[in-house]
Amino acid sequence: MPGTYNPADVLQALPEVFLASVALIVLVLSFAAPARRGWMETLSIGGVVGTGVLLVWAAVPLFQPGGSPVSVFSGSYLVDKFAIFFKVVFLIATLLVILMSIDYLPLVGVPVGEFYAILLFSTVGMMFIASGGNLLTLYIGLETMSISIYILCGFLKRDQKSNEAALKYLLMGAFSSGVILYGISLLYGLTGALGFEEIAATLATIDLSNPALLLAMVMLTAGFGFKIAIVPFHMYLPDVYEGAPTAVTAFLAVASEAAGVAALLRVFLGAMPHIQVDWTVLFWILAALTMTIGNVVAMAQRNIKRMLAYSSIAHIGYVLIGFVAGAKLGISAVLFYVLVYAFMTAGAFAMVILLQTETVKGDLIEDFAGLGQVKPIAAAAMVIFLLSLTGIPPTAGFVGKFYLFSAAISAGYVWLTLIAVINTAISLFYYMRVAMVMYMGEAPEGLALSSSRPLHAAVAFAVLGTLGIGIFPQWFLKIAQASVFGLLP
């Protein structure tokens, strides 16, 4: 019953409450016992894993036949399969980032406790986005996430680029939040509702040719476009990726992008299915632009973080193909791709961190030179990530792309798929250049890798995910397919 409040409803948000509490404890520890680095690390990992357990526990009844989604707090908070799916992706990403950070933070001189606390807060924000049942919950989740990330980007206080990244991201982020709010207010003005279902219900009854509605749609597209870096709203992204501490970049590339996609799906599919015709055309163009510009510019990069930044722009372009294709097939392809993308991109960034030591910054493509001869296992892991990013079997990236393409073909978007095919060939060129440097370049004297165990574990986990989902995708595809039900009519 909307409008009633039941104290037990809080239990539905137990995973978020739990993770936020852990974050607070870490924050307290960071000034109460700043020397206890190990505690904070263990606590953060434990918090993420514990939240995962709680989520799975909540998910089991949902994924049973007949399990129905729960909506609490007057419909502003939803617990459905879609939310669970994205939350698991966020947690996987957060876990990988924490593992990468454990020895990286002391190396670059970042205060540990605050970092983990803010990272976890950001994750909580993402989880709220995934569960958002109305525009305000979603917006608050988005801001919680973004503001935390602005801080994380600037954690290298003495580093000019890090400062630049933080400021640029803050300004752009604030601007895009404003644009989103403007879109929200227009929608509210037109429909008098904030909940996605109510908005959709009202839109079914009113005149859809109202220009204000179109304006609202464009505003929301632009706002979310900034958040997930759709061309032409992507300009800030490479600078931010380059300047931010690499672990944060990984977090941005994986978790924050996934959260942006979740928000996009919730708002456009949940609230505006009636004007799908309009935004499909818009996103068709944006998808083509995003993947093409992302890939073409990536070819020219020397810095691997910038290259991966453009590559992540390109991948958002691929994701949009599934969004444009729509229907259950298209949206489940988006979900599946987001999961796959998390593993391979996190893995690639973990490799960049692996290369960073006290003497070498390791963020140029040349820094990978000779890795294939000196550190064959590390190089092999990187090759797997690169092949997966290109979309070559038997990696997860292939299955993801395959699934996206099949959704697009089945919906009849042959031209868009052809553009994606050409882009795949372009992307091969720059991904393989890294492989080429690793295997065909000469290693500098005394090339050393980080000896961090947790980092190695992160790489191993990412390899496992990339190959595992690539060879046995059945289970994951099924979960992704199941997770779109409820979101789509």
Partner 1 sequence: MSGVTLPLLTIVTFLPLAGAILLLFIRRDKEGLIRRVSLVVTGVTLLISLALPLSFDFGSAEFQFVERVSWIPTIGVSYIMGIDGISLWLVCLTALISPIAVLCSWEAITERVKEYHFFLLLMHTGMMGVFLALDFFLFYVFWEVVLVPMYFLIGIWGHPARRLYAAIKFFLYTLFGSVVMLLGILAVYFYAGAQTGTHTFDILELMKVSYPWSPSLLSFQNLVWLAFFLSFAIKVPMFPFHTWLPDAHTEAPTAGSLILAAVLLKMGTYGFVRFSLPMFPEATLYFVPFMVTLSIFAIIYGAMVCLVQQDMKRLIAFSSVSHMGFVMLGMFALNMQGLQGSILQMVNHGLSTGALFLIVGLIYDRIHSRMIADMGGLSTVMPIYGTLFAITMFSSIGLPGLNGFIGEFLILVGAFKVSWLWALFAVSGIVLGAAYMLWLFQRTMFGKVIHERNKGLPDLNLREVMTLIPLVIMFFWIGLYPAPFLKAMEPSVQKVVKRLDQARKVVEAPTPTPVARNWARDRHEE
Contact 81, 483 (CB under 8 A): yes
Single residue of 33, 171, 299, 422 touching partner 1 by CB under 8 A: 422
Stretch of 1-9, 360-368, 403-411, 449-457 lying at the interface with partner 1 (CB under 8 A): 403-411
By CB under 8 A, tell whether 414 contacts partner 1.
yes
Residue from 398, 458, 466, 484 binding partner 1 (CB under 8 A): 398
Enter the tokens of residue 49: 């894993």
Minimum CB distance to partner 1 smaller for 204 or for 425: 425
Out of 246, 473, 484, 487, point to the residue binding partner 1 (CB under 8 A).
Answer: 473
Is 85 one of the binding residues for partner 1 (CB under 8 A)?
Answer: no
The minimum distance between CB 326 and partner 1, in angstroms, equals: 15
Please tell me whether residue 32 binds partner 1 under the rule CB under 8 A: no
* Of residues 83, 35, 92, the one with CA closest to residue 59: 83
Sorted by sequence, the CB contacts under 8 Å of residue 328 that are 6+ apart come out as: 481, 484, 485, 488
Per CB under 8 A, does 466 bind partner 1?
no
| 233 part of the interface to partner 1, by CB under 8 A | no
Smallest gap from residue 241 Cβ to partner 1 (A): 25
Nearest-angstrom CA–CA distance, 156 and 106: 11
Pick the closer one to partner 1 by CB: 338 or 387. 387
- Measured in degrees and rounded to the nearest 5, phi and psi for residue 340 equal -60, -45
436 contacts partner 1 (rule: CB under 8 A)? yes
Question: Could you say whether residue 485 binds partner 1 (CB under 8 A)?
Answer: no
- Nearest Cα residue to 123 out of 96, 87, 99, 152: 87
Give alpha helix (H) positions in 192-303.
196-203, 211-228, 237-243, 246-251, 257-265, 276-298
Nearest residue (CB) to partner 1, 74 versus 373: 373
- Contact between 111 and partner 1 per CB under 8 A: no
With a CB cutoff of 8 Å and minimum separation 6, the contacts of 67 are 61
Give dist(CA 290, CA 20) in Å, integer.
35
Look at residue 67 and give its three-state secondary structure. coil
Check binding of 400 to partner 1 (CB under 8 A). Answer: no
Q: Which is nearer to partner 1, 47 or 317 (CB)?
A: 317
Residue among 487, 399, 383 nearest 439 (CA): 383
CB of 460 to partner 1, least distance (A): 15
Matching residue, tokens 């239990």: 11
Contacts of 386 (CB under 8 A, 6+ apart): 348, 431, 432, 434, 435
280 binds partner 1 (CB under 8 A): no
Strand partners for 134: 195
Residue 388 near partner 1 by CB under 8 A? no
Taking the least distance from each CB to partner 1, the nearer of 223 and 370 is 370
The count of chain residues that interact with partner 1, using the rule CB under 8 A, is: 34
How many angstroms from the chain centroid is the CA of residue 287? Answer: 17
Residue 40: its H or E element:
helix 37-63
Place of tokens 């089945």: 410
- The yes or no reply on residue 394 touching partner 1 (CB under 8 A) is yes
Asked if 402 is part of the footprint of partner 1 (rule: CB under 8 A), the reply reads yes
**Least distance to partner 1, CB of residue 433, Å:** 8
Strand ranges (DSSP E) for 219-361?
none
For the beta carbon of residue 414, count every other beta carbon within 10 angstroms: 10
Among 418, 451, 453, 464, indicate the residue that binds partner 1 (CB under 8 A): 418
Cα separation, 57 vs 229, in Å, equals 34
User: Does residue 393 interact with partner 1 by CB under 8 A?
Assistant: yes
- Binding status of residue 310 toward partner 1 by CB under 8 A: no
Binding site for partner 1 (CB under 8 A): 372-373, 376, 387, 390, 392-394, 398, 402-403, 405-406, 409-410, 414, 417-418, 421-422, 424-425, 428-429, 432, 435-436, 439-440, 473-474, 477-478, 481
